[in-house]
């Protein structure tokens, strides 16, 4: 044993450096290891901190929607107001620095982990009663979409508040994410295309269109629910019931003159920046329509048929698992109402009235939506 030890020991001295260099090397290794572990720890800490803030952000923005879904009562204005107030406060508190000077919020490891408030890169601009709420809720399943829950009506009603205000109400988003909002009235308001173009000439525009006759009846049904003692559909739809002359300026009918509205948008934006979604197909094949919208937005097709199931009583596709919940989710009570019953003769007159307008719209759109 002793000879072995001696032999080993002498060997050691012949082939290796003196012990003090060994110690030095050991010390060196320890220093590297400890600095590496500190680096790893701080990196993990930083990343989890970021994700955490992103998560809280997510829930903060989403809260108005969940409120809306539970009550299902549509968006009462006062709730709209409160959600804006809440948003503006948070914007002033945490986002004000970030939105103006993103480099202040970002640290040395790069800007991609910093969520900032940005102007939207995509807008759902129409049409009322076309299926815009459904489309927005379906799109929100996509991790790269950050959407405002309520309708801000910036370009039609609150334009005087300015782009800084508009930016301040947007949800925070990371670098690769797309910020969007929906206000169906934009499609039909005359001054909106120029205003949107002034914000961004590259913005992507989405319009959900639906058979103008059923859209008008749906619109009228919504009006009844808000003002029950309104005159009959017929008396509002016709200027003169005996001659059968249609009052195309009555809002429910005027909104359905898609070609007219589309023309105004095409004066400001190229056709390939406007994506048309069929409201009918959004119900019969939500995954197919969503696939096309994701392509248009330049996103991976993440929302697919796995996300939907068809609810027979509502007659609508619903989400199997909406974000942050294990329960399936359908749109609120105000969606999928039973339409007011209207004289078939009146409906036929409306179909005849819309026919040339629809044909003109199909030509502009480059697709036939198959409305009778």
**Is the pLDDT higher at 68 or at 233?**
233
- Mean pLDDT for 14-41 is 71
Residue 337 marked as a ligand binder: yes
- For 144-159, what is the mean pLDDT? 98
pLDDT, mean of residues 317-331: 76
Is 192 a known ligand-binding residue?
no
Annotated ligand binding at 162? The verdict is no
79 is in an annotated binding site: no
pLDDT of residue 111: 52
pLDDT of amino acid 287:
95
Please identify, in words, the CATH class of the domain defined by 118-365.
alpha beta
Confidence of residue 365 (pLDDT cuts 50, 70, 90): very high
Confidence of residue 320 (pLDDT cuts 50, 70, 90): confident
Is 130 among the annotated ligand-binding positions? yes
Give Cα separations from 30 to 35, 36, 280 (angstroms).
Answer: 8, 10, 67
Residue 369 scores a pLDDT above 80: yes
Mean pLDDT (whole number) for 235-262: 96
Name, in order, each residue with C-beta under 8 angstroms of 318's C-beta and a sequence gap of 6 or more: 308, 309, 310, 311, 328, 329, 330, 331
Q: What is the signed CA dihedral for 87, 88, 94, 96, rounded to 10 degrees?
A: 140
Is 129 one of the annotated active-site residues of the chain? yes
7: annotated binding-site residue? no
Q: pLDDT higher for 113 or 347?
A: 347
Residues 98/116, Cβ–Cβ less than 8 Å: yes
Q: Which one from 62, 128, 129, 204 is the annotated catalytic residue?
A: 129
Tell me which of 305 and 261 has the higher pLDDT.
261
339 is in an annotated binding site: yes
3-state secondary structure of 39: helix
Least confident of 89-98, 134-143, 197-206, 283-292: 89-98
List the one residue out of 185, 131, 140 whose CA is nearest residue 369.
Answer: 131
pLDDT for 157 beyond 70:
yes
Whole-model pTM: value is: 0.70
Considering the chain, what is the average pLDDT of its residues?
A: 81
Question: Shortest CA distance to 171 belongs to which of 86, 294, 72?
Answer: 86
How far, in Å, CA of 63 to CA of 335, rounded? 20
Place of tokens 């082939």: 15
Going from N- to C-terminal start, the domains of the chain cover 118-365
Q: What are residue 177's phi and psi, to 5 degrees?
A: -85, 155
Whether residue 16 is annotated as binding a ligand: the answer is: no
The per-residue pLDDT for 34 is 80
Residue 60's pLDDT band (boundaries 50, 70, 90)? very low
For residue 43, name the pLDDT band (cuts at 50, 70, 90): low
């Amino acid at each position: 044993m002793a000879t072995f030890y001696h032999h080993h020991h002498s060997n050691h001295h012949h082939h290796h450096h003196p012990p003090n260099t060994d110690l030095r090397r050991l010390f060196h290794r320890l220093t590297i290891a400890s600095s590496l572990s500190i680096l790893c720890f701080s990196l993990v800490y930083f990343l989890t901190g970021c994700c955490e803030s992103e998560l809280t952000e997510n829930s903060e923005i989403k809260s108005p929607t969940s409120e809306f879904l539970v009550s299902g009562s549509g968006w009462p204005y006062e709730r709209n107001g409160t959600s804006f107030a809440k948003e503006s406060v948070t914007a002033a508190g945490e986002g004000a620095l970030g939105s103006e000077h993103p480099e202040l919020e970002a640290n040395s490891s790069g800007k991609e982990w910093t969520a900032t408030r940005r102007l939207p890169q995509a807008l759902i601009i129409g049409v009322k009663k076309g299926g815009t709420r459904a489309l927005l809720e379906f799109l929100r399943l996509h991790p790269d979409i950050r959407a405002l829950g309520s309708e801000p009506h910036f370009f039609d009603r609150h334009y005087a508040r300015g782009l800084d205000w508009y930016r301040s109400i947007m949800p925070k988003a990371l670098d690769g994410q797309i910020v969007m909002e929906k206000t169906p009235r934009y499609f039909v308001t005359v001054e909106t295309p120029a205003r949107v173009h002034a914000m961004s000439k590259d913005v992507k525009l989405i319009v959900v269109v639906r058979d103008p006759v059923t859209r008008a009846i749906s619109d009228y049904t919504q009006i009844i629910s808000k003002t029950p003692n309104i005159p009959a559909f017929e008396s509002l739809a016709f200027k003169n019931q005996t001659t059968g002359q249609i009052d195309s300026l009555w809002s429910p009918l005027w909104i359905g003159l898609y070609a007219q509205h589309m023309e105004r948008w095409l004066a400001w934006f190229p056709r390939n920046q406007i994506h048309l979604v069929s409201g009918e197909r959004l119900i019969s094949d939500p995954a197919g329509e969503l696939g096309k919208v994701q392509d248009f937005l330049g996103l991976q097709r993440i929302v697919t048929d796995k996300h939907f199931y068809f609810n027979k009583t509502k007659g609508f596709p619903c989400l199997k698992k909406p974000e942050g919940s294990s329960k399936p989710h359908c749109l609120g009570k105000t969606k999928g109402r039973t339409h007011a019953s209207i004289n078939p003769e009146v409906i036929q007159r409306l179909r005849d009235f819309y026919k040339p307008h629809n044909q003109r719209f199909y030509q502009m759109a480059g697709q036939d939506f198959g409305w009778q």
